[in-house]
Structures are given as structure tokens and as C-alpha cells.
Amino acid sequence: MARRSNLRTYFSDYSNARFNIYHNNGNIYPAGVAAEAYDKAVESAVAKLNNQESDETPTSPQRPIALAIDFMLHDFEMAEVEPIPTYVDFGDSEFLVADKRGYEHLAYELAKSFLSTSDGQIIDTRLKLNNVIRTMEQSTTAVVVKTEDGNVYEAKYAILSVSIGGLQSNLISFSPPLPGWKTEAISNIDIMVYTKVFLKFPNRFWPSDADEEFLMYAHQTRGYYTFWQSMENAYPGSNILVVTLTNEESKRIEAQSDEETKSEAMGVLRAMFWPHVPEASDILVPRWWNNRFQRGSYSFYPVHVDHHLLHRVKAPVGRIFFSGEHTSEKFNGYVHGGYYSGMDTSKALVEEMKTEIARENETQSFLLQPFLDLTLPQPGPVFDIPPHLFHRLSQDFIINYY
């Protein structure tokens, strides 16, 4: 899809990340030490997987390098122990979108197939953007949605693809309320928070070799500004570093100012590369957790998830169908999970619409048949009227009717 859309991408190679782990004194851990720590972490993860144990954050004291590798293994999908379906089906090569038009360019390209567009913009009036839905009311024949600014839309069916965090936050109220089995399933889905903080500098002070695109920092607090990526290979001359934080660390920095986050990040970089590090000229801190439309980054199902839970999450309720990455059995957490679930939900809705039309036709036939039996021409003996009189009476009836 990216190739068809001429989206510029860049291959990201994570393979050397574990050999670029920095101590807080600015030195890189020896390759042998890093390899040993990595092997132990993998063995531990495999044992947990075989014993069907949860991958909880370590609570016992560990060396900073072990915490850094544990973070890499469990918080970055490229290092999952169990093969992830998205890699099995699509290969394990990861490509970074390095296009000034952004990832959203894919959405515009897809929209061209069914919406009116002009100069890279969607101009189709059927698409209603910036409408915040607050209530969904359904009856036996229709769904009515009401927006925050008072707009009302009605349709026979609706597909709801808001994030699982949005569903859990009760941003949208349902009338009648969703059944207990549905709300329970929705509330049982974990939400991951995945934050990439971008820092721009007046000049580059970090290594830029191809095998040093990813750098790690070993800290006594797990996930504390651990995983860094240089944008130099994707965007030469940009002088941008990206640090990834997840879950509790993501929530923590979302609650503080950008200046506080920049100060913390600068402290880590100066520990890694010594004090001669220029101050970042700009910073971008996404806030997925505090975004009321998202309330997190993506859904998370444990490896040994009860598949009945997933089926309840994506099951329709009356005329409301559910879609989104959180309803994808194989690719939840990924954009293509949302894409494929959208197609699956659309197909299911089309089949339901066909079934409803068939039911309506059967009902109409059932109700119409008695009337047809009375009004359609029948054999002479039934009416007990001479044929020549019946013809004249019929004409009189038609004239009088009109």
C-alpha cells in the first residue's frame, strides 16, 4: 500500500540496538556483557511464555543494563519472544515513514477510491470531519447520532471505530445502554501508552553510523528515557533525536510541562555524551493518554488471551457494528489491524443488510398474499357471477374508485 501510494519510507534496523547501551558515565557496555544480559532476558521471557505467566515489570532490584534490555524485549514489538502475526504474514522488516506528507497520505490515497478529492484534499460533502459524537440512540429500524455541536445524523446502521480507550471513557453515551456482556468485555481490554518525544538540536553530537541509529541508556528506573533513535538516516541534516517512553513513564511525562520533560531528557543525553551537549531548540511531546478521543495508544491482548473476550468486543449490538484495531484478532495494536478489521466489519454489515432486505421481502409477501387472494381474478365459480356481468362491474368499480 505504501509503495502504491509512493510513500517515502526508510528501513529501520534494530538489530544492533543492544550493543549500543550507554552507562551513565558515558561509556558503552562491552558487547560481551550486553550479549550475556540479552540472552538471560530472552531465557526468562521464554520460561514465562511456556509457563503462561504474565510479563509483569520486574520488581526485584536488577542491574540497569538488565532493565534496559527487559524494556527493549517487552516494550518494543521487534523483540517479542513469540512470533507476532504481523511479522509472520508481512515479514520482519520495519520501515519508518520518512515522507513530508506524513502517514496520513495513505488515508488520502485510500479515500480516492470512493470519495471526491482535489489537490490532495478530500472535498466530498458526505464525509463529516470534526464532529464529536456524544450520543448514539438506536431503535429497531435506525441509529441516530448526536454531536457535541448539536448536529443529528440518522442511518439504518452505524459502524463505530473509536479507540478502545474512547469506549472505556464513556465519551459516547448509548441509548439503550450497551448490554453488560459488551461493557464488561470493553473494560477488560488493556490499553498501552506509547510515546515518542522528538527533540531538535542546533547540531548533531551523537554518532551517525548506520549501525548506531538506535541507542540505549541504562538507568536504575526501568524505561526512563531508555530507547533513543537518530533521525539522521531518515532525514539527513534534521538534527533530531527521538526517545520512546511507554505506559507509566508516558503517563508521568504527560502530566508535566514540556520544559520539565526537556530538562530530564537533556540530563540523560549529557550523561550519555558528557556535558558538551547543546540545549535542544525544540521539543514535541504527544499526549495520547490525555487525549479524550484516544485515552491511550493502542489495545493490548495478552499472549494467552481468551478469544471469547475478543469476539465479545467486536460483536455488533443491534444496529451498531464495532471496528478498529482492538477488534482485530491477528493484528491488534497496528494500523493495518484497523484497516483489515474495517473491511471485515463492512462485509459483515453488508451481509446483515442483505438478510434484512430478504426478511422485509418475506414479510411483505406474507402480508400481501391475503389481499392478492381477494383481489386477483379467480375462477368463475368462486365469484358466482356471470363473466359478462363481472367485466362490467369491474369497469364500474374502477371508474367509481378514481
Domains and CATH numbers, the chain: 9-99+194-284 (3.90.660.10)
- 73 and 99 in contact (C-beta within 8 Å)? no
Determine whether 297 is exposed, middle or buried from the number of CB atoms within 10 Å of its CB (0-12, 13-18, 19+): buried
Task: Read off the pLDDT band of 13 (50, 70, 90).
Answer: confident
Is 220 a residue whose pLDDT tops 60?
Answer: yes
Whole-number average pLDDT of the chain: 84
Nearest to residue 192, comparing CAs of 232, 154, 244, 143?
A: 244
- What is the average per-residue pLDDT within 174-201? 96
Q: Phi, psi at residue 139, to the nearest 5°?
A: -125, -165
Residue 282 has pLDDT above 80, yes or no: yes
Question: In this predicted structure, what is the pLDDT of residue 59?
Answer: 47
Query: Which residue spans within 212-363 are E strands per DSSP?
Result: 214-217, 227-230, 240-246, 282-284, 298-300, 320-322
pLDDT band at 164 (very low <50, low <70, confident <90, very high): very high
Place of cell 509503495: 3
pLDDT value at position 120? 76
pTM of the model: 0.81
pLDDT category, 267, cuts 50, 70, 90? very high
- Give, in order, the Cα–Cα distances in Å from 359 to each of 15, 130, 363, 365: 57, 37, 6, 10
The pLDDT value recorded for residue 366 is 65
Q: Of the given ranges (82-91, 122-131, 203-212), which has the lowest mean pLDDT? A: 82-91
pLDDT for 217 equals: 97
CB atoms within 10 A of CB 318: 15
Q: Residue range 106-130: average pLDDT?
A: 89
**Separation in Å, CA 64 to CA 15, 16, 73, 248:** 20, 18, 14, 18
**Sign, Cα dihedral of 112, 118, 124, 128:** positive
Average pLDDT over residues 211-235: 93
351 - beta bridge partners? none
